[in-house]
Amino acid sequence: MDTFECIKTKIEVREFSKRDVPSEIRKKVLEAARLTGTGLNTQHWRFILVDNKDNLKKLAEDSTSGSWVAGANFAIIILTNPKYHFHSIDAGRVLQNMQLAAWNSQICSGLFTGIKQEQLQTDFEIPENLSPTIIAGFGYPAREVTGKMKKKNRLQLHELVYYEKYGNSELV
């Protein structure tokens, strides 16, 4: 898929079908993560792949805003090291690359950031120096994703972009 088309059509999906995601697509999503750049090329992040149903349920219980992850085909916990002031930027970039790589293969995904950190840290044996920053669930969508079913609710460019100085809307 064309990159812009991929960005344009990707939406957050929180309901998944029971169909398994082929392992080569899963691998591609992880490769997209590996290939993403980090601040100072530190590569401080680590990823926990979760596909066991009981563990997906545990992930849901360890969340405050992602109970839907229990129904995902697999999930990825993104761990970053908060000693780097840019660690959450790194988390956002890698997440977006994984989501776009997945969507390029018709795999949908959703993310959540509401995490019961201590509980999750214990349940998944995460070392203290790493923080579970974002969790994403992946799978085929429960319903076909078409541009018509959910319109993206976004501000228009003229509400967002200024030319040369804040407040100057000449550009768009």
Ligand X SMILES: Cc1cc2nc3c(=O)[nH]c(=O)nc-3n(C[C@H](O)[C@H](O)[C@H](O)COP(=O)(O)O)c2cc1C
Footprint on this chain of ligand X (rule: CB under 6 A): 11-12, 14, 65-66, 110-114, 152
How many helices (DSSP H) and strands (DSSP E) are in the chain? 6, 4
41 versus 146: smaller Cβ distance to ligand X = 146
CB contact at 8 A, 126 and 61: no
**Residue 114 CB, nearest approach to ligand X (Å):** 4
Measured from the CB atom, the residue of 65 and 129 that comes closer to ligand X is 65
CB of 146 to ligand X, least distance (A): 13
**Tally of CB atoms within 10 A around 108:** 26
CB of 8 to ligand X, least distance (A): 11
- Dist CA 52 CA 59 (whole Å): 10
Question: In degrees rounded to 5, what are phi and psi of residue 115?
Answer: -125, 130
* CB of 95 closer than 8 Å to CB of 73: no
Nearer to ligand X, 133 or 164 (CB): 133
Give the nearer residue to ligand X in terms of CB position, either 39 or 92.
92
Beta-sheet pairing, 74-80 with 46-50: antiparallel
Q: Provide the minimum distance between the beta carbon of 154 and ligand X in the complex, in angstroms, as a whole number.
A: 7
